[in-house]
Structure 1
Amino acid sequence: MNSPKLLTKEAAQNFMNGNYEVAYNIYKKAESLLGPENVKANILLCQKRLNKSDKSIKHPFPYKNTPTNETNSTNQEVERLKKELNKKDIEITKRFEELAILTKLLENK
């Protein structure tokens, strides 16, 4: 069995060479020898480079940039609120114009 030091050295070399999946697998072996707290950052870096989750190392996230229903719903709500705000701004502008006219009429009396 490889020593933890040799395992981490081999994993680091693979990582530096762009062999992220190999490095990930070696770090996972080292994890059982060294404890998760000692290789967690290395495993996370490999996962990030692979764009994969710990639960599913075989499959990358296929819909990373695809909007979800929740995102679409939120965007629709934002657009609705923008329109509502625009209508209220128009109403406020009209009220200020009316107030300016009334103020002039009162000043002229």
Structure 2
Amino acid sequence: MAWLEVTTVENIPLMGARKIVYKELEIAIFKAKDGELFAVHNACPHKKGNLSEGIVHDKMVTCPMHSWVIDLKSGEAVGSDCGCTKTYELKIENELVYINL
């Protein structure tokens, strides 16, 4: 695994997301209300909806397709829904965001 520079902290909106594409991977990077960043595979485990287009609340995102709620830290579906999307480790150095791929 290697660290890849993907964006700046400033480029990710508060309570929003940015989609990045690396080779064949599509990853969503989210910024929670407290500024914490999370990275997950940009596909809901239910019907593969683009999570980067979902609504961010607390440290979760609601999929825009069928309203599944995904915990951004674990990638697990919340509530009665079952499923998980891959999460990725992030680090910040000098306001640059790196992802461990």
Structure with a larger share of its residues in strand: 2
TM-score interval for Structure 1 and Structure 2 normalised by the shorter chain: under 0.3
Q: Which has the higher contact order (CA 8 A, sep 6+)?
A: 2
TM-score, structure 1 as length reference: 0.22
Report which of the two structures shows the higher radius of gyration computed on alpha carbons.
1
**TM-score, L = length of structure 2:** 0.23
